[in-house]
Structure 1
Amino acid sequence: MAIVIIRQDGKIEAWKKALKERNPSIAVYSYLEDHPKQDITMALIWKHPQGSLSVYPNLKCIASSGAGVDYIFEDASAPTDIPITRVVDPYLASDMSEHVLAVILAELKNFNSYKLQQVASDWKPKIYRRIKDVTVGIMGLGELGALTATDLMKFGFTVQGWSRSQKELKNVKTFAGSDTLDAFLQATEILVCLLPLTPDTEGILSKELFERLPKGAYVINVARGGHLVDRDLLEALDADHLSGACLDVYHQEPLPKDHPFWQHPKIFMTPHYASVSDTDSVVPQILENYDRLRMGKELLNKVNRKKGY
């Protein structure tokens, strides 16, 4: 039995080192080096090259090193008869919550606008808003969305959440299903997308949805680039229906240099770094599942293939 690490962000050796430090006896390979493909039983991956999973005849588990797994389902050549696991990392949730809070406060206090004015040497005070006067809507109430909603509520925001199935969160008004989406959107002044990317949620951040938000609403997408219809966002911003947007995820990453998002004054961008898996907290989960795989036990944090998350 052995693990192969497949990712394209230059972090293979760091993950390999972290695994070996906790279990020196384990066989771990980079997919870029020569390795015995027939020995590989677990693939630890993140946004792998499509087709790279199909070369392992004895693969028994695909382990995403992050919370998201949509990229696995996008690979038509990936095995469909073996379990997929994902990371449940408390740091992922808390880091995401802190990122969203920072973005919202920057928007309420006009920091993004003031930065543009600074570059233009333009002294122009703007009216700011207070936490108590703003309703934040969280789309997606999984681990990340639920903690973000709870933390924002503790800071004094009015928070509501929407998800496909009913969720209960203390002091957070929750909506479930497509029948309640209108009511949720109409009362949302700052919209945060933390949905899993599935066929049902792809392109959900579209003209139709933006038009259902109040005029002047602000949109934050920290989920997946596939949730957003880029041209619809640009049109909503240019028409002044939306006051602005903060994006951390994109259809293509890195974002092409000629993409209009780069120069748009109402779009604040971060490079898909709102919340990053921490090896210290993730590696024990990977090794636990590796041992479970070896002993034929049920794996932790398995993905429901029908739901896509």
Structure 2
Amino acid sequence: MSSTAPLPPATFLYKSDPVRGQQWADVFRERAPEIDFRIWPDIGDPAKVRFLAAWEPPEQLAERFPHLEVLFSSGAGVDQFNFNALPTHLPVVRMVEPGIVQGMVEYVTRAVLDLHRDMPQYRRQQQRGEWRPLPVRPASQRRVGVLGLGSLGQAVLQQLQGMGFACAGWSRSRHHLEGIGCYAGNDELPAFLEKLDILVCLLPLTDSTRGFLNADLFSRLPPGTSLVHVGRGPQLVTSDLLAALATGQLAEAVLDVTDPEPLPASHPVWRHPHVQITPHIASMTQPLSAAAVVIDNLHRFHAGTPMTGLVDRTRGY
């Protein structure tokens, strides 16, 4: 939905990275000049704040901003929010914008291709000065499964499918994607896992996904499966990962998220020869498109139509 009609005057408060905030301010100045856009801690009159975008909201939100109407997450996730501390009537909206999707597609595609073409093994061989070609398998013979079929998971699967990989996806609820095997619910999880060469985790962090990547799940994968973890750090039981790598149940792991972040310098995962770590950079909100998405949602809110990314609190995403 796009609209050129002016929005009702209100204060929009941004509480996140201030450099990105200045870029948001430029977009608001151009596209919604009637909005008083402020960057924390310059909040102005708190009674006039109707909208807040934040990675971590301030404490005592209802008392501090008594007329707040919508809380926007400045990122794709909302697991950093303590919903028990938020007013029950307050709509919470996660960030859904093209930059996040494209970044994730790029990262996961790179990781899958790296694993598919045995690049981790070639890097280890290079360190040993060893020249040894490995058999090359076509993408159609490599089975890739994605945990999580939201906008990110679907985009990743469509990209990988277009490259010829045999693709499947799993989520709590039923989905239908053309040419992709879709599994749903706990009963279908074992059948999904038993057919994979590469497992990608793109699940949101909820109570039900905390510790989801554990020894039991790894045991249901074919021996030698590789993991690409781009969900949230607390979903992975790191000790179970190390045990699975030690036995060969898992061959390789690509981790963009850890628990905690960053890992302590002495953590064994840092130096594990079969683990690649990146510092939670798989996908980042692009400030200009993110601000445009938020302005579009403000128009939706005032028009009484559903906002993009509105969170279902019962699900946590």
Task: Return the offset for 1:75.
Answer: 5.4
Identity of aligned residues (%): 36
Distance 2:204 2:72 in 1: 17
Structure 2 residue matching 1:220: 3-state secondary structure? strand
Structure 1 residue matching 2:80: 3-state secondary structure? helix
Partner in structure 1 of residue 95 of structure 2? 87
Q: Structure 1: 5+ residue runs without aligned partners? A: none
| Alignment of 1:6 onto 2:15 | yes
Q: 8 Å contact 1:15–1:279 — kept in the other structure?
A: yes
Distance 1:224 1:260 in 2: 19
Q: 8 Å contact 1:61–1:82 — kept in the other structure?
A: yes
Per-residue Cα deviation, 1:137-181 (whole angstroms, up to 9, x for no partner): 111111111121122111111111111111111111111111111
The 5 Å alignment of 1:17-32 reads 17-32=26-41
Q: Which moved more, 1:21-30 or 1:135-144?
A: 21-30
Which of 250, 273, 289 is matched with 1:242 structurally? 250
Partner in structure 1 of residue 234 of structure 2? 226
Distance 1:237 1:51 in 2: 42
Shift in alpha-carbon separation, 1:258–1:29, aligned structure 2, 3 A: farther
Structure 2 residue matching 1:165: 3-state secondary structure? coil
The 5 Å alignment of 1:268-307 reads 268-293=276-301, 295=302, 297-301=304-308, 302-307=310-315
Which of 183, 204, 207 is matched with 1:199 structurally? 207
Task: Return the offset for 1:261.
Answer: 2.1
The TM-score with structure 2 as length reference comes to 0.88
Q: 8 Å contact 2:20–2:287 — kept in the other structure?
A: no
Partner in structure 2 of residue 257 of structure 1? 265
Q: Structure 2: 5+ residue runs without aligned partners? A: 1-9
Partner in structure 2 of residue 179 of structure 1? 187
Structure 1 residue matching 2:196: 3-state secondary structure? coil
Distance 1:272 1:266 in 2: 18
Distance 2:45 2:265 in 1: 39
Distance 2:213 2:85 in 1: 28
Partner in structure 2 of residue 114 of structure 1? 122
Distance 2:88 2:257 in 1: 27
Paired residue type of 1:300 = M
Task: Return the offset for 1:191.
Answer: 0.5
Q: 8 Å contact 1:202–1:226 — kept in the other structure?
A: yes
Task: Return the offset for 1:120.
Answer: 4.8
Task: Return the offset for 1:128.
Answer: 4.2
Which of 58, 70, 76 is matched with 1:67 structurally? 76
Greater RCO, CA 8 A, separation 6+: 2
Distance 1:305 1:280 in 2: 28
Task: Return the offset for 1:296.
Answer: 6.3
Paired residue type of 2:215 = K
Shift in alpha-carbon separation, 1:120–1:29, aligned structure 2, 3 A: farther
Q: 8 Å contact 2:253–2:275 — kept in the other structure?
A: yes
Q: 8 Å contact 1:51–1:75 — kept in the other structure?
A: no
Task: Return the offset for 1:69.
Answer: 1.6
Partner in structure 2 of residue 170 of structure 1? 178
Task: Return the offset for 1:50.
Answer: 6.2
CA RMSD of aligned residues (A): 2.2
Paired residue type of 2:114 = A
Distance 2:53 2:12 in 1: 7
Q: 8 Å contact 1:5–1:16 — kept in the other structure?
A: no
Q: 8 Å contact 1:50–1:75 — kept in the other structure?
A: no
Shift in alpha-carbon separation, 1:25–1:188, aligned structure 2, 3 A: same
Distance 1:271 1:168 in 2: 33
Structure 2 residue matching 1:191: 3-state secondary structure? strand
Distance 1:212 1:127 in 2: 26
Structure 2 residue matching 1:2: 3-state secondary structure? strand
Q: Which moved more, 1:150-159 or 1:281-290?
A: 281-290
Distance 1:52 1:261 in 2: 38
Distance 1:184 1:8 in 2: 39
- Between the two proteins, the alignment pairs up a number of residues equal to 306
Q: 8 Å contact 1:50–1:77 — kept in the other structure?
A: no
Shift in alpha-carbon separation, 1:128–1:268, aligned structure 2, 3 A: farther
Distance 1:227 1:208 in 2: 13
